[in-house]
Amino acid sequence: MKNMIKFIPNSITITRIIMSFIFIYLIIEQFVYRKGTFINLIILFLAICFSDLLDGKIARKTGFVSTTGAKLDVFADLLYILLSYTTLIILKILPLWFLGFACLKFTEFVMTSRFIKRHNKSSDNPFVFDKIGRIVSATFFIIPGIACIFKCFMPYTAGYLINCLIYTTFVAGIYSSYLRIKSYFMLVDLNTSKCIDID
């Protein structure tokens, strides 16, 4: 029984990867072929969001948190973002620069996590999260669904609303990067001063 429970979080994450591909198919059906798949699109989007919350919670509750699971979760999130953003950029719903920013923010997140972990080994998780960064990553995650909702229900104001959302996310993302880089340098200074005290 324990062995089966151990695989539940990763199974949910793998299901999210599969749902991401179906989500892209439904976006194309809705906005290219006008097949009226909007309800299915929203249900699937909510299922993707729910699965992202659920896999981590189950892993922590059951005590089966692993480096592989954490990396798989981040990979599933990144794949979903890349697939959905690329599709929405091709459909001219999202701007190309925002995908570039999301990729840069992800790269910065991985690099600063690695650097911070090198100087502060307080957890087994390979990634270090900050409060604003969590909000930014959640916003990156929900933007495809929100953009689809705006485009369907408010087609004339969708561009304005989407721009407000992505520029707010952009500013918050820059601030999060600043805090993470500052945190890294503070840890380096702290460790350097400890080494000097020992000598």
pTM: 0.83
How high is the pLDDT of residue 1?
55
61-91 pLDDT, tens per residue? 877 777 788 889 889 999 999 999 999 999 9
Planar angle of CA 92, 149, 146, nearest 5 degrees: 80
DSSP string, the chain: -HHHHHHHHHHHHHHHHHHHHHHHHHHHHHHTS----HHHHHHHHHHHHHHHHHHHHHHHHHT---HHHHHHHHHHHHHHHHHHHHHHHHTTSS-HHHHHHHHHHHHHHHHHHHHHHHH----S-S----HHHHHHHHHHHHHHHHHHHHHHH-TTTHHHHHHHHHHHHHHHHHHHHHHHHHHHHHHHHHHHHHHHHH-
In the chain, which residues have pLDDT < 70?
Answer: 1-5, 119-126, 190-199
pLDDT tens sequence across 12-24: 999 999 999 999 9
Residue 159's pLDDT is what?
A: 92
Nearest to 161 by CA among 149, 171, 170: 149
Longest Cα pair distance anywhere in the chain, in angstroms? 71
CA distances to 114, 124, 176 from 186, in Å: 15, 21, 15
**Model pLDDT, residue 185:** 81
Q: What is the pLDDT of residue 192?
A: 66
Looking at residue 110, its pLDDT comes to 85
